[in-house]
Structure 1
Amino acid sequence: MKVKVKYFAIFRELTNKREEELEVKEGATVKDLLEALAEKYGKKFKDIVFNGAVSDRLIMLLDGVNIYSLNNLETKLNENNVFVILPPVGGG
């Protein structure tokens, strides 16, 4: 099944893409998707985004909902989900 991944800020620089569609197996989770992305984009992606665990400073949305309010890394993916990775945001 296909999942769209959208990148912003530093993640666009890491991937050289604004977005992409990835093929994932039926029953895949957010963790499976992040492992596939880490494998595809290498050490820098792993260091910043996912190296077995996710930085709690990152914002990850699945169809507009923060994964932390769903089932975190064990959230199941569905056909045509949109997954967004956002860097930490500050303001003042």
Structure 2
Amino acid sequence: MNIKLRFTAQIKDVVGNGADTIVVNDGAKLQDLLKKIAGKYGEKFESILFDENNGYRHSNLIVINQSQISYEDNVTLTEGDEVTLMSPISGG
């Protein structure tokens, strides 16, 4: 299945662009996807999503098809879903 990825803020900077597409197996779940892309985009990306104990950093927001989703929901993805990852924005 093709899943569209969108990135904002710090995540976008680490990835190098605001969008990508990834292929996952039919029936893939959200947590599978996040672990797969953590491996794809490297250690810095992974450290934004997961802490040193591999726990998800809840300061990041996950949006699937314009609905905010919790990491624990671990929803099943479907062909053409758009997953947006938003890291916190800080500034002054």
TM-score normalised per structure 2: 0.86
Counterpart residue number, 2:60: 58
Which is worse superposed, 45-54 or 3-12? Answer: 45-54
What is the root-mean-square deviation in Å for CA atoms of aligned residues?
A: 1.9
Deviation, 1:59, is 0.7
Give the share of equivalent positions with the same residue, in percent: 24
In 2, Cα distance between the equivalents of 1:12 and 1:42? 13
Counterpart residue number, 1:49: 49
Is contact 1:58-1:86 (8 Å) kept?
yes
Is contact 2:10-2:89 (8 Å) kept?
no
Is contact 1:35-1:50 (8 Å) kept?
no
Report the CA distance shift for 1:20/1:38 in structure 2 as closer, same or farther (over 3 A): same
What one-letter code is carried by the residue in structure 2 that aligns with 1:87? S
Unpaired runs of at least 5, structure 1 = none
SS in 2 for 1:84: strand
Correspondences of 1:7-22 after superposition (within 5 Å): 7-22=7-22
Report the CA distance shift for 1:58/1:27 in structure 2 as closer, same or farther (over 3 A): same
Q: Which runs of 4+ in 1 moved over 4 A?
A: none
Counterpart residue number, 1:80: 80
SS in 2 for 1:47: helix
How many residues align? The count is 89
In 1, Cα distance between the equivalents of 2:89 and 2:45? 18
TM-score normalised per structure 1: 0.86
